[in-house]
Structure 1
Amino acid sequence: MIYIYNDFGGTHTTALAAAYHLKQLPLDRKLTTEEILNVNYFNKLQTSDMGKLIFHGIDEDGHPVYTIGRGSSKVLIPGVKNLSMLLQEKYNIDERIIFSNTSPTVPIAMTFGGLFSRRLKIDSIGVPLLVKGAKQACGNILELVQHTKKLAKSSQEKIVVLENTRFKV
């Protein structure tokens, strides 16, 4: 099974989701500023990284965890899903793929923080907003990851696309 967390930029909620999934963050409390800023790829990717699959690690069950930024594209995930289906059918690949959208967990502070930090390169405004947003969202992100893992284990579909609208902030 392959897990792919996705959102607009692929560097904030997806990075946190991957870190939670890989048990690199505490599960029993809100995150500290230092923990947030030390998450791999958190606020480090550029616009040019959108559309690239970023490998984060192997989970406790031996499954790889990736993230991807979709940008404003509405077709990236359906396109990757269709390509995955084609490869599975043509080459008898038996690997299941789980796409999980982290966008519904993004609070407004994180949206503006990402804009200031990644787009406008004003970290003095953007990073504090990103940290505030991450602290607001960490519970929802953890719940989304737990939901993703549970659904992945219970589903028999070869490819699962989770929009996760129930986690809307």
Structure 2
Amino acid sequence: MIYIYNDFGGTHTTALAAAYHLKKLPSDRKLTKEEILNANYFNKLTSSDMGKLIFHGIDEDGNSVYTIGRRSSKLVVPALKNLSLLLQDKYNGHEKIVFSNTSPTVPFAMTIGGFLSRGLKIDFIGVSLLVLGAKQCCNDIIRLVENTKQKGKSNNETVIVLENHEFK
């Protein structure tokens, strides 16, 4: 199975979701500032990284975990879904792919922090807001990851798109 976490920038909630999925972050307590800032790719991607699938690792069940920043395009995930179905059909592939949208977990502090840090390069305010936002949403991200894994294991479709509106 392939898991692909996606959101606007691909560098905050997606990075945390991938880290939780791969058990690189503790899920039994709030994260520290250092744990948040040291998560792979957290607040490190730039606009040139948008649309790129970024590999984060292999989970305990042998599944690949990726992230992608899709910007404001509503077409990226449907296009990837259609491409995945086409390739599975043409090459008789059976690898299940799960796209999971982390956007519903993003708190206001993270939205503003991401804009200040990544957009305006004002890190001294932006990073503080990103850390605050990450601490606010970490429980929602943990639940989203568990829901994503459960839906991936229980659904018979070969390509699954999870919008995750229930996490708003």
- Distance in 2 (CA, whole Å) between partners of 1:113 and 1:100 is 22
Matching residue of 1:80 = 80
Q: How many residues align?
A: 168
Matching residue of 1:71 = 71
- Distance in 2 (CA, whole Å) between partners of 1:8 and 1:98 is 17
**Secondary structure of the corresponding residue to residue 99 of structure 1:** strand
Unaligned segments of structure 1, at least 5 residues: none
**Secondary structure of the corresponding residue to residue 140 of structure 1:** helix
Unaligned segments of structure 2, at least 5 residues: none
Matching residue of 2:45 = 45
The correspondence of residues 8-157 of structure 1 with structure 2, limited to 5 A, is 8-157=8-157
Instruction: Report how far residue 80 of structure 1 moved.
Output: 0.5
- Distance in 2 (CA, whole Å) between partners of 1:103 and 1:142 is 14
Matching residue of 2:6 = 6
- Distance in 2 (CA, whole Å) between partners of 1:32 and 1:44 is 18
Q: CA RMSD in A?
A: 0.4
- Counting aligned pairs with the same residue, the percent is 73
**Secondary structure of the corresponding residue to residue 112 of structure 1:** helix
TM-score by length of 1: 0.99
Instruction: Report how far residue 100 of structure 1 moved.
Output: 0.2
Letter in 1 for 2:44: K
**Secondary structure of the corresponding residue to residue 40 of structure 1:** coil
Instruction: Report how far residue 47 of structure 1 moved.
Output: 1.0
Instruction: Report how far residue 77 of structure 1 moved.
Output: 0.2
TM-score by length of 2: 0.99
